[in-house]
Amino acid sequence: MQLFQKNSRRIKSLFLIFLTNFFKILISIGVTFLLPRTFTLNDYGFYKLYILFAVYLGLFNFGLVDGIYLLYGGKRFEDLDKTTFRSYFKFLLLIIFIFFTIIVILSLLFLDYNLSVISFFLALNLVSINITGFFQVLSQAISRFNEYSIRTLITSLFTFFVVLIMYFGSISNYYLYLLFITIVNFTVTIWYIYTYRDLIFGRSVRFINSIKLSFKVLFSGIPLLLSNLSTLLLVNIDKQFVLIYFNISDFAIYSFSYSMLSIITAVISAGGIIIYPSLKTAPLNYSSSYYSKINKLVISLILILLIVYFPLSIIIPYFLPSYETSIPIVRIALPGLIFMSSIQIVKHNFYKLYNLNFKYLITSIIVLLLNIILIISAIQIFGSLISISISFLVGLSFWYIITEIQMSKIQNIDWFKNLILIITGVIGYYYTTNLNNVFYGGIIYVSFLIVLLLVSYHKEITIVRKF
């Protein structure tokens, strides 16, 4: 009965997460298309430059938040020691204050105007993102998914409201947008602080003891922190080289192309939020038996979502003619979501489950170096944005294969079937997207995908039909 109640709660949480992310995805689509219409190409490039570096801000807790996630995953709020968590929070504030000060001073002394503005907003959001991240990770670890989902949805709604004001008010200054987003982020931070006020305010241990306690958790989280850092570097390395070798307009085009991918990633990552806490509380043999099934489901969902290319190839030239050159990049890049989603949403959670964060880190570093070689070679030989996108896709495929082989050895599973599914689906995607008629291409891909998934899931369908 207790197991049924737990499963029922997880199903409700999963449903709320997906419902929240459904609305979030609609909002993200609106933001993705309205912002380029609002800003000039260069201003959009500077905004995407802010986003490129903002993804690293959550790492400035230096493993404290990651350690909390690993140590407290699967526990209940009632089990948390308030005195200990007050120590963690004080230590986090100390780290944030130090790096906020450093970034502000450096931005004022050494950078030009645009980069100084971007750095200043990065420093401000370093504060909000890390404090909010502290509470978000805690809420995920103790399975308070409803709390996380509601705040995520409200943040997205506020952001969309800001974009609408700027679009219809013809406000094209990206500085103002960063200011509005910063206000939204701090609003959510204050909300989290109020929600967890009993946990973080009150009597705590002496400051010296707080540092000792926090360092213990911090060191336990460093392997996961470095794993997350390597993942972020891997999925953003192509953009960083575009920023170095190309001008800000080219960077805007390339970044816009990958904005399309981030929308799809948001859909799939919704389920990934509850994977680790659920796996942590389940028996190990039960968890490992579901790896292939979860991975196959993620692959299948991405193959379905690749359909988005066909309407995008029609909408972008009409609605955003300045970004028409992004379409070939979007076409090449989209299948990379299969590899990224499988690794980030499925595999990384299983590496954490088996306490193999160091193994994941070493693998990611090797693939990162390979990716750097591939991208630099593409730039030197071809010198085009499309060649960078192709080389990045090749690097992602190597990352997938290496991690899949490692998972198969750990869990003694057959990984080749999922690889066949990927290869077949991607070949079908590239063939149909290469057809001159987008409408017919879309129909053929959908038909092909239905047949492919029916064949791939024939055992599951047979079992269901027996009932």
Kindly report the backbone phi and psi dihedral angles of residue 369, in degrees, each rounded to the nearest multiple of 5, phi listed first: -65, -40
Question: How high is the pLDDT of residue 3?
Answer: 42
Q: What percent of the chain has pLDDT over 70?
A: 87
Q: How far is CA 145 from CA 20, 101, 177, in A?
A: 11, 33, 29
Query: What is the rounded end-to-end Cα distance, in angstroms, of the chain?
Result: 23
Question: How high is the pLDDT of residue 223?
Answer: 80
Is residue 2 pLDDT above 50, yes or no? no
Confidence band of 151 (pLDDT split at 50, 70, 90): confident
Tell me which amino acid residue 219 is.
F
Q: What string of DSSP letters covers 153-167?
A: HHHHHHHHHHHHHHH
- Both tokens of 154, joined, read 């409200």
Question: Considering the entire predicted model, what is its pTM?
Answer: 0.84
Q: Is 206 helix (H, G, I), strand (E, B) or coil?
A: coil
Average pLDDT over residues 94-112: 86
The answer to whether residues 80 and 142 touch, using CB atoms and an 8 Å cutoff, is yes
CA atoms within 13 A on the CB side of 439: 0
Confidence band of 323 (pLDDT split at 50, 70, 90): very high
The answer to whether residues 146 and 274 touch, using CB atoms and an 8 Å cutoff, is no
Kindly report the backbone phi and psi dihedral angles of residue 272, in degrees, each rounded to the nearest multiple of 5, phi listed first: -65, -25
Q: What span, in angstroms and rounded, lies between the C-alpha atoms of 299 and 306?
A: 11
Confidence band of 5 (pLDDT split at 50, 70, 90): very low
Q: What span, in angstroms and rounded, lies between the C-alpha atoms of 113 and 99?
A: 21
Q: What percent of the chain has pLDDT over 90?
A: 38
Confidence band of 13 (pLDDT split at 50, 70, 90): low
Q: What span, in angstroms and rounded, lies between the C-alpha atoms of 66 and 68?
A: 5
Confidence band of 1 (pLDDT split at 50, 70, 90): very low
For the chain, what's the residue count?
467
- Both tokens of 24, joined, read 């979030």
Contacts with 453 (C-beta within 8 Å, 6 or more apart), sequence order: 300, 303, 304
Question: How high is the pLDDT of residue 373?
Answer: 95
Q: In the chain, what are the domain boundaries?
A: 17-205, 222-467
In the predicted model, what is the mean pLDDT of the chain? 84
Helix (H) or strand (E) holding 33: helix 2-38
Confidence band of 425 (pLDDT split at 50, 70, 90): very high
Q: Which of 6-10, 262-266, 342-346, 458-462 has the lowest mean pLDDT?
A: 6-10
Neighbour tally for 347: CB within 10 Å = 23
Q: What span, in angstroms and rounded, lies between the C-alpha atoms of 115 and 135?
A: 30
